[in-house]
Amino acid sequence: MTEERDHGQTPATQGSRIDAYVDRYAARAAGMVASEIRALFAVASRPEVVSLAGGMPYVTALPLDMVGELVSDLVTRRGPVALQYGSGQGDPHLREQICEVMRLEGIQAGANDVVVTVGSQQALDLLTRIFIDPGDVVLAEGPSYVGALGTFAAYQAKVVHVAMDDQGIVPESLAQTIYALETAGAPIKFLYTIPTFQNPAGVTLNHARRQQVLDICQRAGVLIIEDNPYGLLGFDGEPMRALRADNPDGVVYLGSFSKTLAPGFRVGWALAPHAIRDKLVLAMESAVLSHSSFTQLAVGQYLATQPWREQIKSFKELYRERRDALLDALEALMPPEVTWTRPAGGFFVWATLPEGLDSKAILPRAVAERVAFVPGTGFFSDGSGARHMRLSYCFPEPDRIREGVRRLAGVIEQEMQLRDTFGTGSVREHPGVDTPGPDLA
């Protein structure tokens, strides 16, 4: 082999020919695997496919001209600050504004306890980094947010799911799970929960259960991570009171401007008890030195000069109309054996297929019929969820949603016929976290 041909290839003899460094990765990288359904979603993003899969906010509804002016004005007037490094904790003025946003959910907090992060996803990463050693237990609803499960897997946490029904996490199940783990001597580092308009299930923890969950965790000394990106996107009445509002010392609250403004700014935050906040700031600095001053100031400027509450209201109206389109179409078109949740806000409906059907096995046929969804297995870390699928209504127009459901109902009916003819298909075990990618999170 000439030196030229050998260039960069020698390690291949020790590992796979595709990845020359396959045996050099840290053990934690084993938990980072691309979903085998990603390729399918590349096809699903073609315009002829109705995607009920993506979790992308409908940013087209923003007054984009105004955002453009605001950004341009920011560079012209405050360029030397906006284009400079910032502090690890985040822009102080934006942190004040974040406290004002959180007051809508009953949270009274000082800007000093807020850490601005690169979306709430980074807050999840930093929290996992500071709390988790390999093998530590994290409690999470079953199903739970795929991006969080991916982070937990990357840090080699052991996720134990807690049962959830249409009123949110089941307190009895939480108490039993904590008791069983304590008895087994397994250290629980935190409960990760999305109490309001949950991703993927669309359900909301009811008022009575909120207090029970707080009490159970407080008694057991379990920290709660409350992830709440959809809390202000409720379709009826006032926002729910956050868990954090009733226990400042026992809850780390995560918020985000991704759904109420735009995910492209990548501005989220963590509100944490002092000691945790200090660690978060250090972890933030070690990860990225500081968040982008530019996008933080842009969001700050937006909040200071634009009617952001009105914008949230118009997002809510838009998503309510799409939620109604999805629920009405499901009601009208799905076989009676299929069931689903009825979200009062947020982006997602969680559907349950009849016995013997496997949503992941159905996906290729659905994509061939020009409709896509996310199979339920991606939302569990233990291989369950095969009879479920997440349907999102945030992105397609109402007519497209109806057409998507019509196609999907046809596919499910065919699958049921196949099942009745050939018997129950085996629902495959699928251990591991199956991350389909950011646009589908």
Ligand X SMILES: Cc1ncc(COP(=O)(O)O)c(C=O)c1O
Is 55 an interacting residue with respect to ligand X (CB under 6 A)? yes
Instruction: Give the binding range for ligand X (CB under 6 A) out of 99-107, 117-125, 156-164, 218-226.
Output: 117-125
Q: Give residue 7's identity as a one-letter amino acid code.
A: H
Which of 54, 127, 131, 145 touches ligand X (CB under 6 A)?
A: 145
Phi, psi for 398 (deg, rounded to 5): -55, -40
**Nearest one of 211, 243, 270, 223 to 107, comparing CA atoms:** 243
For residue 431, whether the previous peptide bond is cis, meaning omega lies within 30 degrees of 0, is: no
Q: In angstroms, what is the minimal distance from the CB of 441 to ligand X?
A: 4
Q: In angstroms, what is the minimal distance from the CB of 55 to ligand X?
A: 5
Contact (CB, 8 A) for 94 and 116: yes
Phi, psi for 305 (deg, rounded to 5): -115, -15
Q: In angstroms, what is the minimal distance from the CB of 227 to ligand X?
A: 5
Q: Exposed, middle or buried, 381 (CB in 10 Å: 0-12/13-18/19+)? A: buried
Q: In angstroms, what is the minimal distance from the CB of 118 to ligand X?
A: 7
Quickly tell me which residue has 């976290």 as its tokens: 433
Is 231 an interacting residue with respect to ligand X (CB under 6 A)? no
Which of 151, 193, 258, 290 touches ligand X (CB under 6 A)?
A: 258
Site string for ligand X, 364-393 (x = CB under 6 A): ------------------------------
Phi, psi for 154 (deg, rounded to 5): -65, -30
**Beta carbons within 8 Å of 264's beta carbon, 6+ residues apart:** 59
Closer CB to ligand X, 350 or 409, in the complex: 350
The SS3 of residue 430 is coil
Closer CB to ligand X, 142 or 229, in the complex: 229
**Alpha-carbon gap, residue 174 to 141, rounded angstroms:** 9
Is 290 an interacting residue with respect to ligand X (CB under 6 A)? no
For residue 80, whether the previous peptide bond is cis, meaning omega lies within 30 degrees of 0, is: no
Is 295 an interacting residue with respect to ligand X (CB under 6 A)? no
Is 263 an interacting residue with respect to ligand X (CB under 6 A)? yes
Give strand pairing partners of 115: 270
When computed from its CA atoms, the radius of gyration of the chain, rounded to whole angstroms, is: 23
Of 264-283, binders to ligand X (CB under 6 A) are 268
Number of residues that bind ligand X (CB under 6 A): 15
Q: In angstroms, what is the minimal distance from the CB of 214 to ligand X?
A: 19
Q: Give residue 125's identity as a one-letter amino acid code.
A: D
Contact (CB, 8 A) for 293 and 116: no
Q: In angstroms, what is the minimal distance from the CB of 253 to ligand X?
A: 12
Of 166-205, binders to ligand X (CB under 6 A) are 194, 199
**Alpha-carbon gap, residue 7 to 355, rounded angstroms:** 54
Instruction: Give the binding range for ligand X (CB under 6 A) out of 46-54, 115-123, 323-331, 427-435.
Output: 115-123
Report the sign of the C-alpha dihedral through residues 417, 421, 423, 429, in that order.
negative
Is 441 an interacting residue with respect to ligand X (CB under 6 A)? yes
* DSSP string covering 391-420: EE-SSS-HHHHHHHHHHHHHHHHHHHHHHH
Instruction: Give the binding range for ligand X (CB under 6 A) out of 33-41, 104-112, 119-127, 280-288.
Output: 119-127
Is 294 an interacting residue with respect to ligand X (CB under 6 A)? no
Which of 97, 120, 295, 384 touches ligand X (CB under 6 A)?
A: 120
Closer CB to ligand X, 396 or 412, in the complex: 396
Q: In angstroms, what is the minimal distance from the CB of 304 to ligand X?
A: 21
Is 404 an interacting residue with respect to ligand X (CB under 6 A)? no
Is 227 an interacting residue with respect to ligand X (CB under 6 A)? yes
Instruction: Give the binding range for ligand X (CB under 6 A) out of 39-47, 118-126, 325-333, 409-417.
Output: 118-126
Judging by DSSP bridges, how do beta strands 267-271 and 114-118 pair with one another?
antiparallel
Is 435 an interacting residue with respect to ligand X (CB under 6 A)? no
Closer CB to ligand X, 268 or 427, in the complex: 268
Applying CB under 6 A, the residues found at the interface with ligand X are 55, 119-121, 145, 147, 194, 199, 227, 229, 256, 258, 263, 268, 441
